Structure 1
Amino acid sequence: MRFIKLFCLLISCSFISPQISAQGNKNISATEKKILDQGLVDIQSVNPEILVELKYATPDNFMKKNVYGDLTHAYLQPEIAKRLSKASSLLKKAKPGYKLLVYDAARPNTAQYKLWDALDDLKIPARQKTQYVADPKIGSNHNFGCAIDLTVVDEKGNPLDMGTKYDFFGPLAYPRSEQEMLRQGKLTTKQIANRNILRMAMVHAGFTVNTTEWWHFDGMSKKQARAKYGMIK
């Protein structure tokens, strides 16, 4: 009888969900289970050296409240997560002791609507809204698990000075405006150099730069993401 029980236990263990086991058997929320079921992966299961602090899962964002609810881990499409891991390795090689700190990754489209509506409270003109938040009807690359928001921390775990906080609205955050901001004395050469540390690692790993957000990088175009992956609801 004991042998039969042991045999049954071994059989049951062999059928543990590979997604759950890949997450170290941690507790998975309902939202995160849906994301995993769509084939995305936890960034830290791919590379544990990458740090995560989801800003929209805290009040430390432009909305001043938790938008993500039970979404507390960072997820990406597998190929994008692999590319991010490469960026982490490139950063480590260029700047030993430095690490990537992820602020946002895969985002359910329901949360996209909340961010979109919050711009009205900030009195952002309708014609400028898509400059800061993608129209939820179309979707952001975050909604397909193909975009990442992040920064770099030093050996002591302190984020590098990038000249603005995450989610800053305005030209001071624009990569395309850095030289103009430098001429005006609004950015320093050190702040731009810090942005380039992040940028070089990400670009060499295959990401593209967002021209209005120093923290945002895309793993592919939105057209490609829409064709290849379904939107995360």
Structure 2
Amino acid sequence: MIRLFLIIVWISVCYVSCVGKTNNIDKQTVSDDPKVHTTDSIAQPEPIISCLEQKMIDQGLICVNHLDSSLVVDLKYATTDNFTKVVLYDTLSNAYLHPLAAEKLIKAQKLLKEIDPNLSLLIYDAARPLSVQKKMFQVVQGTKYQAYVANPSRTGLHNYGIAVDLTICDLSGNALDMGTPFDFFGKEAGITNEAAFLTKKQIENRNLLRKVMTGAGFLTIRGEWWHFNALSLADAKKTCRLIE
């Protein structure tokens, strides 16, 4: 019995010793081999941010599509698909807003998703630096659109990051029919006499947009169904910095 006991003890000691050496070898291989890395040790590339975007971030503006990835962004002035046919945002592809407006926009998106998860807000324009407003004003001089673009000397709510232009789209990014396209200059774009120009479905779509936006605290304007303000201009001038 004693001999059998000694044999069992000897086998156990050998097993523990071998396992310990194996584990030590594995650990040393992982730590000493420069070719072996963990996921945490791999440096992730930083997103490329333009000087304009960095300036907006430094001013405290928030990228709303980073706050909620379900928001859809199609900045029309970053393309030629706008009424000027000129690229005005040549270094901007994300939508930025003042934190107050951003908070309200995220709430509006949540309200919309609660009504229909297959729909999303589609942003056409948000914070607009005064430098871009000046460029837009210059581009339309001598054209039929001259009367529709505010003089940069009279700052607007886009220039404070407090206004947003948007619509509603489906999961494929197709905008709902609102009766007119974005930046349509005509009475059909107004919200005061829609029954005279729009179909029942178009009115329903606009009402849905207004419902979620006003439910989140935004204000409408009479002439543009797509435009919403988070504050009045007087309040924005008191509490928000002008985006140069």
Query: What is the TM-score when the length of structure 1 is the normalising length?
Result: 0.82
Q: How many residues align?
A: 201
Partner SS, residue 175 of structure 1: coil
In structure 2, what is the Cα distance between the partners aligned to 1:136 and 1:196?
Answer: 32
Calculate percent identity across the aligned residue pairs: 45
Which residue, out of 88, 103, 118, partners 1:97? 118
User: What does 1:62-77 align with in structure 2 at a 5 Å threshold?
Assistant: 62-77=83-98
* CA deviation after TM superposition for structure 1 residue 164, in Å: 0.8
1:159-195 Cα offsets, whole Å, 9 max, x none, are 10111111000101011231332xxxxx211111111
In structure 2, what is the Cα distance between the partners aligned to 1:49 and 1:25?
Answer: 22
Which residue, out of 184, 188, 200, partners 1:189? 200
1:231 aligns with 2:242: yes
1:25-76 Cα offsets, whole Å, 9 max, x none, are 4111001111111000100122111110100000000011211110211100
* CA deviation after TM superposition for structure 1 residue 99, in Å: 0.4
Contact map agreement 1:46 1:82 (CA 8 A) in 2: no
1:118 aligns with 2:139: yes
1:147 aligns with 2:163: yes
In structure 1, what is the Cα distance between the partners aligned to 2:47 and 2:142?
Answer: 37
* CA deviation after TM superposition for structure 1 residue 78, in Å: 1.0
1:54 aligns with 2:75: yes
Query: What is the TM-score when the length of structure 2 is the normalising length?
Result: 0.78
Unmatched tracts of structure 1, length 5 or more = 1-23, 182-186
Deviates more, 1:155-164 or 1:57-66: 155-164
Q: Partner residue of 2:233?
A: 222
Unmatched tracts of structure 2, length 5 or more = 1-44
Amino acid at match of 2:191: P
Displaced runs of 4+ in structure 1, greater than 6 A? none
Which residue, out of 195, 207, 223, partners 1:212? 223
1:85-139 Cα offsets, whole Å, 9 max, x none, are 00000000112210011000000101112222334332347xxx2xx33321121
